[in-house]
Chains A and B, each alone.
Chain A
Amino acid sequence: MITGDISLMRRVTNVAMLGLTGLSTLVVVSILFFILGYLLWMGGSSLSIQFFTNLPKPTGETGGGMANAIVGSGKTLLLASLIGVPIGFLGGVYLAEYSGRTFAFLVRYVTDLLNGVPSIVIGIVAYALIVKPMSHFSTLAGGVALGIMMIPIALRTTEEFLRSIPNSLREGAMALGATRSRTIFTVVVPAAMSGLTSGMMLNLARVAGETAPLLFTALGNMFWSQGWMQPTATLPVMIYTYAISAYDDWHQQAWAAGFVLLALVLTINITARLIIGRGASSARR
């Protein structure tokens, strides 16, 4: 490959620069291992069964947990999915199956912009829309904030996966006399199902870790939150509150919560990516 007439200087530069790019990759990848290792170590040692079953306790008392925050996160995420997934899915169907060029471009572009809006700004909007008129913080407001954040990715993944379904499937269904909507909802969507499911899982994992939009919508709560209209504790906000507190035992709890959150997010991510990877070899392209 490298012949004799190439100057030494060029050869050295070649090897040195290739090495440098490899090194930067190594550094970035090792950060992941560092994060995982450290959280495993710190979080694993502070984790106990009480963490999952007990309510938070004031500092100094042992045996406190975050059961309410785990349930609170679950409720907020459920609400977020109920808002974000249907809107994103239907919008994605429109872009992939019905839309003309100009309008589709507009919607796609605006969706990408919405995806780039800082999460704290979404929090402000949810505050203005729900907390202010109702004059109290609530699970509902937190769910709406996260729901808005889910729409862009739900929409774009739906569009992308539907587009990857070959046109012959649509033509086949229509040749058999199926109408357009029947073709879409009984042939195209089921064919893209594994991709859609994993896309939504990734989406959920992303908002599961969001903290900023919950700070002044779901707020926080040291006790159980009844129904949907009360402020609720959530795992990410608890991590934040405990981490910036001045107490060592709360720091331990923050590590434990960080461990649980990261484990959850990474498990969903890896599962979803494996599903997509398996689907890619058979269904896509």
Chain B
Amino acid sequence: MASSTVIQSAPPSAVRDFFRRLKVGEEFSYLLTLAAATLVLLIVGLIVYELVINSTESFHKFGWHFFVTSVWDPNNDQFGALPFIYGTCVTSALGLLLAVPAGVGAALFLAEMAPPRLSAICVFMIELLAAVPSVIYGLLGIFILVPAIQNYLYPLLKPLDFLPIFSGTFYGVSYLSAGIVLAIMVVPFIISVSREVLLAVPTDQREAALALGATKWETTFQIVLPNASTGVIGSIFLGLARALGETMAVTMVIGNVPKISPSLLAPGYSIASVIANEFGEASPGLHLSSLIFLGLVLFGLTIVINAVARLFILATTQRGA
């Protein structure tokens, strides 16, 4: 298809030679770019291959019990992933719980209500917020957020300590701190993707609702949002995938204790954090293999969630956001 534009008749040999070289050049640039595109598929394949190959030792030893065992003891070669899976799920869920209302609210404001100038400025700032490196969030988490939670939020939660999720002593580093940091980190992604999806809703839908006497809010909430709901859910899934894989900020505020506690105020551990903390010093063998197994779990989880999110967003906007 690429080279169909050349050579029709049979010109003198020097000219034909020239055309042939040109044709080779054509093929070359086609093949080169094709190779680069194919390389992306190969790299993803390679990631899967390396993760699977390097985690087989752990899988053979522990099998599916890996997921339901809560003992993590490198000294005795006993490894179970449950505390980390639990920590990752709890912190991500908490992060989304805080981020979704704020994120979808802000997206509604920016897409539907705000004057275009104001909206453009806010969108610009939110994009900058998304560009802040996660280690910076971790830095602020350790030195600002954790003390702030301890001094201001904890006294408010203290009277609720009859609830299991707010029971126990609070040291600052906890599921709660990690959840709040995650919320701040995923909110910009939820806003920008949701906003794009909302903007894709046809204007006549809004005009029709307004013409029927609906208020601005009723139009937004009952007409525009349901129209874009699949895409908004997609944006939330994207946020979830980010939260699950987030490493540095969580590692710095979660406390890094491989224990399962029902209380959000207790320190915990997450999949990404344990890899970050132990991988560099892990002895080759079962320990390293178990960490890579955890990496494979994380990879599988985020791939599935991402795949679903992309399909949802694709369904509403007709393009892969």
Instruction: List residues of A whose CB falls within 8 A of some B CB.
Output: 2-3, 6, 10-11, 13-14, 17-18, 20-25, 27-29, 31-32, 35, 38-39, 42, 86-91, 93-95, 97-99, 103, 106-114, 116-125, 127-129, 148, 151-152, 155, 174, 179-181, 184-185, 202, 205-206, 208-212, 215-216, 219, 236, 239-240, 243-244, 251, 254-255, 258, 261-262, 265-266, 269-270, 273
For B106, give its contact among A24, A127, A219, A244 (CB under 8 Å): A24
Q: Within the complex, what minimum Cβ distance (angstroms) separates A173 from chain B?
A: 12
Chain B residues lying within 8 Å of A121, measured Cβ to Cβ, are: 47, 51, 245, 295, 298-299, 302
Give the size category of B's interface with A. Answer: 35 or more
Answer yes or no: B1 CB below 8 A from chain A CBs.
yes
B110 at interface by CB-CB < 8 Å: yes
Cβ B22 vs Cβ A179 within 8 A: yes
* Interface of B, helix, strand, loop or mixed by DSSP: helix
Q: How far is the CA of A98 from the CA of B218 in the complex (A)?
A: 46
Contacting pair A114 B40 (CB below 8 A)? yes
Closest chain B CB from A155 CB (angstroms)? 7
Q: Evaluate whether A181 and B306 lie within 8 angstroms (CB atoms) in the complex, with A14-B218, A120-B247 already known.
A: no
Report the separation of the CA atoms of residues A212 and B191 in the bound assembly, to the nearest whole angstrom: 25
Q: Is the CB of A212 within 8 A of B247?
A: yes
- Report the minimum CB–CB distance from B91 to chain A (whole Å): 14
- Closest B residue to A107 using CB positions: B37
Contact A111 to B40, CB < 8 A, known contacts A29-B125, A119-B245, A179-B22 = yes
Chain A residues lying within 8 Å of B125, measured Cβ to Cβ, are 29, 32
Q: Please, how many angstroms separate the alpha-carbon atoms of A6 and B215 in the complex? A: 9
Say whether B101 faces chain A, with CB atoms less than 8 Å apart: yes
A91 lies within 8 A of B37 (CB): yes
Q: A32-B125, A266-B128, A269-B127 are in contact. List 13 more A-B contacts (CB 8 A).
A: A17-B217, A24-B109, A29-B129, A35-B129, A94-B34, A113-B44, A113-B303, A116-B302, A212-B248, A215-B280, A240-B135, A243-B138, A266-B132
The answer for the CA separation of A23 and B51 in the assembled complex, in Å, is 44
B243 to chain A, nearest CB (A): 10
A239 touches B139 (CB 8 A): yes
Cβ contact within 8 Å between A90 and B32: yes
Who on chain B is nearest to A86 by CB? B36
Given A25-B109, A113-B306, CB of A13 within 8 Å of CB of B133 = no
CB of B260 within 8 Å of the partner chain: no
User: Which residues of B lie under 8 Å from residue A122 when comparing CB positions?
Assistant: 47
Considering only residues 24-48 of chain B, those with a C-beta below 8 Å from chain A are 25-26, 28-30, 32-41, 43-44, 46-47
